[in-house]
Amino acid sequence: MIRLAHRAAGMIGFLTILVFWTSTVLSEAFGTLSTVAAVKLAIPWGFLVLIPALAVAGATGFRMAGASTSPRILRKKQRIPFIAANGILILIPAAFYLAWLASQGAFGTAFYVVQGIELIAGAVNLTLMGLNIRDGMRMTGRLAAA
Ligand code: HEM
């Protein structure tokens, strides 16, 4: 049960950020300003899925790991503060600020600078979470060990 919750929460968290990231890039590359605004206004609602998913993935991960000193588990643990800090200090404030600017139709320099920072921070979190998925799958044998 706890394994299933961990696996599902980890994958949901990863996929939610992937959807935020790709819908942002696609709307800004090919969409109209109203499509961009719709995406920016929808993303904060996605936090209602993302934040609980990450909390469950982290809590169940630490619970299953117990006092294990396996290098893969230690690496997974060490990534969590970076994932959380990136989310709390950059991704969440940036998403609310961008949604506010989009709601005002303010697509100026501030919008694109913060958007660039948000895309970089999002890519960093996708990478760190992807590494946690890879290490998880190596531990369960779903992925061949390196
Ligand atoms: C965002 C963070 C995380 C993500 C996305 C994630 C993802 C995953 C996934 C997808 C699996 C399942 C692999 C499979 O079914 O083959 C897994 C397994 C595992 N993860 Fe995580 N994980 C995260 C954080 C953590 C943390 C912080 C720990 C421990 C401190 C941890 C410990 C484990 C363990 C022990 C397993 C193996 C479970 C088993 O034997 O079935 N994970 N992880």
| pLDDT tens digits along 45-103 | 999 999 999 999 999 999 999 999 999 999 999 999 999 999 999 999 999 999 999 99
- pLDDT at residue number 121: 98
Mean pLDDT on 24-29: 98
- pLDDT at residue number 68: 92
Find the residues whose C-beta lies inside 6 A of ligand 1: 3, 6-7, 10-11, 13-14, 54, 57-58, 61-62, 64-65, 73, 76-77, 80, 83, 129, 132-133, 136-137, 139-140, 142
Q: Where are the domains of the chain?
A: 2-139
Closest residue (by CA) to atom 33 of ligand 1? 61
Closest residue (by CA) to atom 32 of ligand 1? 61
- pLDDT at residue number 144: 87
> What is the 3-class SS of the chain, one letter each residue?
CHHHHHHHHHHHHHHHHHHHHHHHHHHHHHCCHHHHHHHHHHHHHHHHHHHHHHHHHHHHHHHHHCCCCCHHHHHHHHHHHHHHHHHHHHHHHHHHHHHHHHHCCCCCHHHHHHHHHHHHHHHHHHHHHHHHHHHHHHHCCCCCCC
